[in-house]
Amino acid sequence: MKEIRNFIDGEFAATGRWFDKLAPYDGKVIGRVAEAGRADVDAAVKAARAALLGPWGQLSVSDRVDLLYAVADEIERRFEDFVDAEMTDIGQPAHFIRHVDVPRGAANFKVFADVIKNVPGEFFEMATPDGRGSLNYSLRRPVGVVAVICPWNLPFLLMTWKLGPAMACGNTVVVKPSEETPQAAALLGEVMNAVGIPRGVFNVVHGFGPDAAGEFLTTHPQVGAITFTGETRTGAAIMKAAADGARPVSLEMGGKNAAIVFADCDMDAAIEGTLRSCFANCGQVCLGTERVYVERPIHDEFVARLKAAVEKLQPGLPADPSSGMGPLISQDHRHKVLSYYRKAVEEGATVVTGGGVPDMPDALRGGWWIQPTIWTGLPDAATVLREEIFGPCCHIAPFDTEEEVLLRANDNPYGLASAVWTGNLQRTHRVAAALEAGIVWVNSWFLRDLRTPFGGAKQSGIGREGGVHSLEFYTELKNVCIKL
């Protein structure tokens, strides 16, 4: 039984209130988590503020970069500890965590350390009426204490995606991980201490959202900026909280992402890529695909082949090499996803495969397993084609023309990501430009260069992160004008 504590001012702490951490694959209690109250959150923010004005704020960029590289190296040294934390928190197959989540988590610190080390400044000479002239140059300064509100679906990867640039830019942070996935954030506290990150630079407060740690943090007057990944309604609530004090927000929110498969695609690649984009991490990926549009001449073949591929996915324990899919994160989330499964049938969907709960071995029947599901036959106005489900499911519909499918793909309140499968180069550029999404993959999915801009359009978010684009949020740009 693990005890997962808050990490405040370089020390692990608990104030007496605890909640259980359950394993999603069998529903058993695997630990208890210290819940942060208002006083804990206040202590964490004050520690972060003190570090900002003290030892962390006095470090040179070079010294800060060296420390972030040391954080990455320590993560890699404790690689299996982070793998175990992610496996038991989210139940995702270990091979994905080993190849994506933990390596990316370490890379996030190195990439943004390099960005801040190499970012150019601005310098302008300006004429003045007296002929002596003036010089202008820019400085980047941290925005202050950054509240980092993390989701549960890829907890370590998405937490470090924010921590890397925030800390590289000289900010201090208070992290509020999801109550469902607390372990990696607590483990990272050990890493920070091991490599000598000054006390108060990195803090973790565990707990829930409204009238709890999340609200206490986002409404704290000494928090200078808020970065959030999660569902859209929570993001809207955070925007309202940030309005008090006119604090900047970076929001990566929901998605109802579309894939467009043209008849001239590489069918094998399109099937493999769509299988991943719909069903990776049990469909709990904000960038995943829930709407698939397939050009009519290949529609039936595509449905049949994707069905066959899905039915080969074997649910199992995350450490089992043969496991092709883990469980959903919680019982409540499974209730939500199953309600959409029922709604699809009520609205007239044809269930190609799945649609329910798999029959698991006795030891795993307490877990939150669900069948990967494919539907056809629904109109674009159907509920399951409008609302984000966040489960292992997709609807496949035929289309006839490029113009038609673009209208249908864009007819949605979200605009996070899209995937396009085609062998036509001219079409690639036309369609990618026309899609209303922050990210468009062509003949691939989840292929990420960390230097590129990341973020959503419409109700999928505000702002861009990645490479130098992260600096726009995590720093204040100051101009210095010197009269000669």
Segment 193-211 shows an average pLDDT of: 97
pLDDT at 377: 98
Tell me, yes or no, whether 246 and 219 share the same domain. Answer: yes
In-domain check, residue 37: yes
The phi, psi pair for 472, rounded to 5°, reads: -65, -30
At 185, which helix (H) or strand (E)?
helix 183-195
Question: Which pLDDT score is estimated for 107?
Answer: 97
Q: Whole-angstrom Cα distance, residue 443 to residue 425?
A: 11
Asked, for residue 295, whether it belongs to a domain, the answer is yes
Together in a domain, 327 and 273: yes
In a domain, 233, yes or no: yes
Burial class (CB in 10 A: 0-12, 13-18, 19+), 380: middle
Clarify whether residues 443 and 477 are in a common domain.
no
User: Pairing relation of β-strands 249-252 and 461-462?
Assistant: antiparallel
Q: Which domain holds residue 163?
A: 2-253+460-483
173 and 41 in a common domain: yes
429, part of any domain:
yes
d(CA 33, CA 141): 35
Do 343 and 473 lie in one domain? The reply is no
3-state secondary structure of 172: strand
298 lies in a domain?
yes
Residues 100, 243 within the same domain? yes
The helix (H) or strand (E) run that includes residue 395 is strand 393-399
**pLDDT at residue 70 in the model:** 98
The answer on pLDDT for 147 being more than 90 is: yes
**Average pLDDT across the chain, whole number:** 97
Share of the chain above pLDDT 90, in %: 99
Q: What is the largest CA-CA distance in the chain?
A: 87
User: Do 9 and 61 fall into the same domain?
Assistant: yes
pLDDT tier at 119, thresholds 50, 70, 90 = very high
Among residues 464, 477, 449, 475, the alpha carbon closest in space to that of 111 is found at: 449
* Element holding 187 (H helix, E strand): helix 183-195
- For residue 293, how far is the Cα from the chain centroid? 25
200 and 268 both lie in a single domain: no
Going by DSSP bridges, is the β-strand pair 249-252/145-149 parallel, antiparallel, or unpaired? Answer: unpaired
* Cβ–Cβ < 8 Å for 281, 91: no
At a CB cut-off of 8 Å and minimum separation 6, what does 154 contact?
Answer: 90, 101, 281, 285
Q: Render pLDDT for 418-434 as a digit per residue (tens, 0 to 9).
A: 999 999 999 999 999 99
Q: How far is it, in rounded angstroms, from Cα 249 to Cα 146?
A: 10
Condensed to tens digits (0 to 9), the pLDDT of residues 69-106 reads 999 999 999 999 999 999 999 999 999 999 999 999 99
Question: And the tokens for 231?
Answer: 């569902």
pLDDT category, 469, cuts 50, 70, 90? very high
Shared domain check, 227 and 214: yes
- Overall average pLDDT of the 161-187 stretch: 98
Give 373: exposed, middle or buried? Use CB within 10 Å, 0-12, 13-18, 19+. Answer: buried
Residue 220's CATH number: 3.40.605.10
Please determine, for residue 288, whether its predicted confidence score (pLDDT) is greater than 90. Answer: yes
Average pLDDT (285-292) is 97
- The total domain count for the chain is 2
Question: Does residue 224 register a pLDDT over 90?
Answer: yes
Cβ atoms within 10 Å of 131's Cβ, excluding its own: 7
The amino acid at 446: F
Query: In angstroms, rounded to a whole number, what is the distance separating the alpha carbons of residues 333 and 207?
Result: 18
Q: Establish if 454 belongs to a structural domain.
A: no
Cβ atoms of residues 231 and 202 within 8 Å: no
The CA distance from 370 to 337, in Å, is 9
Q: Indicate if the alpha-carbon torsion angle 297, 301, 302, 304 is positive or negative.
A: positive
Question: For position 15, what pLDDT does the model report?
Answer: 87
Asked if residue 282 is part of any domain, the answer here is: yes
Structure tokens at 7: 């990490």
401 lies in the same domain as 469: no
Same domain, yes or no: 60 and 126: yes
From CA 169, how far away is CA 470, in angstroms rounded? 9
Specify whether the CB–CB gap between 236 and 460 falls below 8 A. no
Do residues 27 and 368 make contact, with C-beta atoms less than 8 angstroms apart?
A: yes
% of the chain beyond a pLDDT of 70 = 100
Please tell me the predicted confidence (pLDDT) of residue 1: 82
Q: Is residue 350 part of a domain?
A: yes
Catalytic positions, written as ranges: 252, 286
The pLDDT score that the predictor gives to residue 228 is: 97
Whether 398 and 478 share a structural domain: no
Tokens 């007239």 locate to: 348
**Tens of pLDDT along 325-335?**
999 999 999 99
Report pLDDT for 76. 98
- What's the CATH code of the domain at 312? 3.40.309.10
Global pTM reads 0.96
